[in-house]
Chain A
Amino acid sequence: MLTFILKRLMLAVVVALTVSFISFSLMFLSGDPAAALAGETASAEDIEAIRALYGFDRPMLVQYWQWLGAALTGDLGESYYFKLPVASLVAERLGVTMLLGVCGISFALLTAVPLGVAAAIRPNSFIDRLSLFLSVAGQAMPSFWFGLILIVVFSIKLGILPPSGATSWKHFVMPTVVLGYYAMPAIMRLTRAGMLDVLSSDYIRTARAKGASEVRVLFKHGLRNAIIPVVSLAAVQMGFMLGGSIVVESIFALHGAGYLAWESIGRNDLPTVQALILIFSMFYIIFTFLADVLNAWLDPRMRSS
């Protein structure tokens, strides 16, 4: 087991480095970072001065190597745009995004899993059709549109939730629902499919034949097996929520790390983008690792493999 974990960790580091290197390279394809930093009113001389000041005149590999060396010692550099240490900037913004991500995935799991189980227990029933409708709507509805609809209803018409900002728990209600609803359909359909598959299997029939209660059949024998792919999916969705909550953060003016990443790309703020890509990819890797461990706990057969 220890060897397995070490191997996974080494793989994680390689993946994180690869991701960071590719993204570092791609950033240089999006235009001259010196020109972007200098702004619209800068002269050619200003741009050259900035190029020399920030070291953009050095080979890209050298720049990457130096960045990596500093990052390993915890120095993520200084944001070109904000002139603040990237570490403190990211730490300040990551809190909002983490909170939003945890709330979003919790909302998605707490609604999708029960609905998926209910739909599987009674296929083609009202609850099954409702879950199908919700999942189709969730997949089809753009987040920005759904967010605005919620704002219109709950902020403008009813006046019970603030439209934007992040100063109280109420500010997180609508963003959580919007973000969670985006992740919900896939989890719900996967739960339903898994449950249908498991419920028709021989060991469930055996359990029922042995007189096990319906609750025990569903949750102890059924859900425990059906939930395994859902755990993996949820880990991926959680990673997506951290990096991909850009639209939600923008609509609700939450100033989180997702929006910071998006804006920093446009500003060619390389140190910030690099740090965020590294952090987001590490989160992805950690979540998938934890999902594997959880799956191994849920299904003993996976431990040996």
Chain B
Amino acid sequence: MKGSFFKAVIATTMLASTADGAFAGKADDTLHVAFTKELENVDSYFNSAREGVVLMRAVWDGLIYRDPVTNEYKGNLATSWTWVDDKTLEFKLREGVTFHNGEPFNADDVVYTVDFVSQESNGVKTQRNVNWMKSAEKIDDYTVRIHLKDKFPAAIEFLAGPVAIYPNEYYAEVGPSGMGLKPVGTGPYKVTEVVPGQHFVLEKNEAYFDGPKGQPTIGKIDIRTIPDVNTQMAELFSGSLDFIWQVPADLAERLATMEQFTVANESTMRVGYLAMDAAGRSGADNPFTKLKVRQAVNHAIDRGTLVNALLKGNSQVIWTPCFPSQFGCDQDVTQYDYDPEKAKALLAEAGYPDGFSTEFYAYRDREYAEAIALYLNQVGIETDFKILQYSALRELNMKGDVPIAFQTWGSYSINDASAMVSQFFKHGALDDARDDQVLADLDIADSATDPEVRQEHYTKALKRIADEAYWAPMFSYNTNYVFTNEVAYTPTADEVLRFTTMTWK
């Protein structure tokens, strides 16, 4: 009776089912990809998500392109550029380029885009990507100058990253909301369908210029937002997805053992670190104001084991408040080997022979934070573990109420040390060190146009930060990419999916 009941249910369901739309694969030249995050707006200036960066690189172009492997800068929408003076850059623009809607690309587009995004009242989401620009000036149809507010040597890196050029006539007409619904760029892929936050379809731009990004080969990219990673895996197994990324290490390990999938792993620029209140903002008697306590924290944690056991892949132990590939991120600084006995001795010397207790904050990656807290407990630093929303932790941090916290920073994929160390050590609201010497060096490094001067002063700042153990830098993150065997792709360290470099096998 029971058996026949279940048979009946299954039979009925099978009868009721019919072929359900297209399946993934190269047969229909459509790559099916999943995004975990619901993207608020496709307009790249009005989202701050990694997924937004991915779409931006596919749909729009910047003036400059940085080769993600060699880190060499190449002309993209510009063919060449020169520093006119410390605060002015001149670009020769590529001729014969058209936007997806047929609008021709020229100096007016660059001027319009720069003038729009650099104006704070227009509300570009990530201000630091654009607020170093003052304005742009048209010299002729294919020559343009960008005027900077101040000396900013990292300008080239930013122009090779988050500064995308928009069509002036179209953007003036539709604005950010219109651009979000019907994006128009010069990029290798054009957007043909947007269901906000849920679904995007990209199609190959047949008229794409012969630039450094290369010509796209896959005809169509279908991106769906699927928040649950298990569901993404199910879609992959059932054949309705070809490509997923940001797959947790344990799942990626299991998928790697299966023949039908390729698992690729690559590091990212995100660095995890412990920030300590050395300046005594959370109380002058705060133990972290003592150098020996901060050194003890650095000696208490086995970073190598954390990387091998939890992060895996291409993660690496980090000793600096920046990612090693970033310009100026010298790795030759004081390193603190894992030595819990030494940590206990340092604590005793600092006046805490029995250790002490402290609030310990985190906002993501609970398992990493818990492991770190456990290491601290083992040397006598008893932690009152608190995990908060990012905004809540940041608010506490800015008020100076956080004695020690596990945090991370992704530098927005900017390959320059200023994107991380200068963010946290220049006496801003998030600076818990407040070291004048570090500030002086960073001021020079951030504004000098001579690369050697920059390098020298970043190195000085990084060495002092390490010697004073203001932070306990931990490790870099990595990302797992899983795709079917029909797809060929080599990920890059900046964690940007480049559809142009994906091909069918």
Q: Which residues of A contact B (CB under 8 A)?
A: 30-33, 35-36, 39-47, 49, 53, 81-84, 144, 148, 151-152, 154-156, 158-165, 167-168, 170, 173, 250-253, 255, 259, 263, 266, 268
Contacts and interface: CB of A to CB of B under 8 A. Distances in A.
A33 B231 contact: no
B40 A82 contact: yes
A43 B428 contact: yes
A268 B428 CA distance: 24
A167 B224 CA distance: 12
Contacts of A168: 20
A8 B13 CA distance: 44
B176 to A, nearest CB: 7
Interface string B40-68: 11000010100000000000000000000
Interface stretch (B84-92, B274-282, B392-400, B439-447): B392-400
Contacts of B176: 83
Given A32-B392, A53-B123, A41 B128 contact: yes
A188 to B, nearest CB: 17
Q: Which of A31, A47, A144, A250 has the most CB of B within 10 A?
A: A31
Contact of A170 (B17, B125, B240): B17
Nearest to A45: B127
A200 B2 CA distance: 30
Interface residues of B, number: 52
B184 to A, nearest CB: 18
Contacts of A159: 238
B24 to A, nearest CB: 12
Nearest to A268: B391
Given A32-B392, A81-B40, A160-B13, 6 more contacts: A30-B391, A31-B390, A41-B412, A46-B127, A156-B237, A253-B231
Contacts of B196: 82, 84
A168 to B, nearest CB: 7
B234 interface: yes
Counting from the closest, the 8 A-B pairs by CB-CB distance are A31-B392, A36-B391, A31-B391, A32-B395, A39-B48, A160-B17, A163-B234, A253-B226
B127 A83 contact: no
Given A31-B389, A40-B48, A164-B226, A170 B127 contact: no
Interface string B18-56: 001100000000000000001011000010100000000
A234 to B, nearest CB: 24
Contacts of B398: 35, 44, 47
B201 interface: no
Interface string B218-250: 000000111110110011011010000000000
A239 B41 CA distance: 31
B305 interface: no
A41 B414 CA distance: 12
Contact of B227 (A32, A53, A259): A259
Contacts of B388: 31
Contacts of A250: 227-228
B69 interface: no
Contacts of A163: 231, 234-235, 238, 240
